[in-house]
Amino acid sequence: MRMLVLALALALPATAFAGPKVRQGEQLYGQYCVMCHGPNGAGIRHAEAGSGPGRDQVTQPGAGPSLRGVGAQAAHFYLTTGYMPLRRLGAQPRRARLLLSPAQIDALIAYVASLGKGPPVPNPHPERGNLSHGQHLFIVHCAGCHQGVARGGYVTGAIPPPLGDATPIQVAEAVRIGPYVMPKFSKEQISDRELDSLISYVEWTKHPDDRGGWSIGRIGPIPEGLVTWFLAATVLIGVCMVIGKRLHGEG
C-alpha cells in the first residue's frame, strides 16, 4: 500500500500539493514563460530552439536557461523590472512597463521559487551604508558600464541601463545574479555590508547635490567638456570681435 501511495505521489506534479498561489503561478508560467524556459523550468538548450535571450542586441541562437534553483531572488528581479516576459525573443531584456499585476508577479515568483532551493528576495539596508565607500565601490565595479553617476552607457553587445528607476532591492538582486551581460558578485567580492553602501550611493545619484557647478543633466564628462569648449569658444570669439572693433576704431 505504501509503495502504491509513493508511486502515485511521484506521478503527480510537484504543484499538486502546493498552495493556490503556486498553482496560479504555474498557470502563468505556462502562459508567459514555458516557450523559452521549458516545462517545469528545466530550460531549453540551443539545439531545441531557434532564438532566445542572449548577448546580441537583435537575435541570437539559444533560449531560456533553467530556472531550477534560481530562487525568488532572480524571479523577483526580472519580473518587477519588466525585463520578463520578453517582448521579442532574442532582444536584450530592458526595463519596461509591467505586463503582469502585482498579484500575478507574486504568484509567478512563488512558482519559480518552488522549482528548487534558491536565494530569497534580499532585504538591503542602504541607510546603514557609507556613502563615500559606496561611491568607491561603484566606481571600481560599476562605473565602467553604468557611468560614474549611474546614467547608463554602451558596451559591446549590450546597453547597460541607467539606474534611476532601480529600487534598492533590485540593485541588490542585480549585483548577486548578474542579469544579461553584467557579471555577478559573490558575497566574498562584495559583502552585504558593502552592498548596503553601494546601494546608498546609487540612491544618492538619483538626486545628487550639484552645488558649485552646472550639472548639464549629469550626462558624463565628454559631453560636458564639449559644452564647455563650445561656450569658451563663443566667448573667445566675442572678445576677439570687441577688441577688433576697438582697434579698427582707433586706427
Residue 129: strand, helix, or coil: coil
| Burial class of residue 151 in the structure, from the number of CB atoms within 10 Å of its CB (0-12 exposed, 13-18 middle, 19+ buried) | middle
179-196 pLDDT, tens digit each: 999 999 999 999 999 999
Cis peptide preceding 160, ω within 30 of 0: no
Instruction: Please list, in sequence order, all residues whose beta carbon lies within 8 angstroms of the beta carbon of residue 104, skipping any fewer than 6 positions away.
Output: 24, 28
Q: Which domains does the chain possess?
A: 22-114 (1.10.760), 126-206 (1.10.760.10)
Give yes or no for residue 39 having a pLDDT over 80: yes
Q: Considering only residues 53 and 176, tell me which one the structure prediction assigns the higher pLDDT.
A: 176
136-181 pLDDT, tens digit each: 999 999 999 998 889 998 888 899 999 999 999 999 999 999 999 9
